[in-house]
Chains A and B, each alone.
Chain A
Amino acid sequence: MQVKDILETLEIAPRPGDDAERELAREVTGGYASDLLSDVMGHAREGQVWITLQTHKNVVAIASLKELAAVVLVKNREPDEDTAAAARAEGIPVLTTPLDAFEAGGRLYRLLRGA
């Protein structure tokens, strides 16, 4: 499954961008939900979609370091300006869903595990 295949389920409107197509083709292997960046740094795994309400620029650094597939910001949160710039530079899709973390995680789980 690729990042573009989760957009509809999570009610995400993709942001237009130069590399949007390539970014949205990143492979999704699972999900991780946490708002403590120290926890994500220690425990998230490559290919996961990270569900969070943190919008700080460090989110992109950690997503890039851990080779996560995408970051999904919940409850219509928009990335800080420098976060969005870093995301473009690193090629990490930072997406916004209107759903809260419970609903987004539930829908993603069902989509990935087919449960």
Chain B
Amino acid sequence: MKADLHVHTLLSPCGDIDMTPRDIILKARERGIGLVAITDHNSTRQAPLVQELGRAAGVTVLAGAEVTTREEVHCVVLLPGEGERREFQRFLDERLPDVPNDPERFGYQVVIDERDDVIHEEPRLLISALDSGIEEVEAFAHRLGGLFIPAHVDKPRDSILSQLGFVPPELVCDALELSRHADLPALLSAHPFLGRYPLLRSSDAHYLAEVGAAYTELPLGRDPSFPDIRAAIRAASP
């Protein structure tokens, strides 16, 4: 099964306004992506509708977020169920700084319903860094039974390697994510220790055309359970 485990929606300020739940699912189907994770910046609020539409269309959708930690490391967190998603949302809400979004400058941050009507606008800027260190985010994700995956580790900014130099040995990472264009042999030769981690490749899509532009092939059947997905991610290689 093709899995794209890092996709933004129109809720992310930098996510294109065309990234509606319906169109993301249509694009995933068109590209043969059977498993999608919705990971907006510091928010999970658009994910439930994508999950609902995915169920009807035969696309499995995980709810998650791309968290910006205090160190400004971007990390993908994936949650096992709706209760955990809500609990993680509270965690995010409590730690997001009170910096207002300027939609003209950064983009709109809206949650829509199945009729494309806006049901929520996030007033705080979602691309701020949380007041929470990377270890705290990792521990909380795991306490909820979720997955913790440092994002685009090969990027020279916003990544665990740029911000922290190396992956702290005590940090429990279910996998590391590579960006769409990552040169894996070059990366492994510069940082041989990365070979010890399961590796995913994801699109980090902000535009519809990017959904499924990178994916990881996982040995999963139709409608996989979260524990099956977790096991497959922990054994992944690109």
A interface vs B, CB < 8 Å? 35-41, 54, 56-58, 61-62, 80
B219: shortest Cβ distance to chain A, in Å?
34
Could you list 14 A-B pairs, sorted by A, with CB under 8 Å?
A: A36-B163, A37-B162, A37-B163, A37-B164, A38-B161, A38-B163, A38-B164, A39-B162, A41-B166, A56-B133, A56-B164, A58-B165, A58-B166, A62-B165
Q: Which residue of B lies closest to A83 (CB)?
A: B133
B13 to chain A, nearest CB (A): 23
B71 at the binding interface (Cβ < 8 Å): yes
Q: Does B195 contact A (CB under 8 A)?
A: no
Q: Confirm or deny: B38 has a beta carbon within 8 angstroms of a beta carbon on chain A.
A: no
Given A54-B71, A56-B134, A80-B133, decide whether A38 and B168 contact each other with a Cβ distance below 8 A.
no
- Chain B proximity of A55: nearest CB distance (Å): 8
Q: How far is the CA of A69 from the CA of B36 in the complex (A)?
A: 47
Option from B134, B162, B166, B168 in Cβ contact (under 8 Å) with A36: B162
Residues on A with beta carbons closer than 8 Å to the beta carbon of B168: 56-58
From A57, which residue of chain B is reached at the shortest CB distance?
B168
Q: Which of A37, A40, A61 has the most CB of B within 10 A?
A: A37
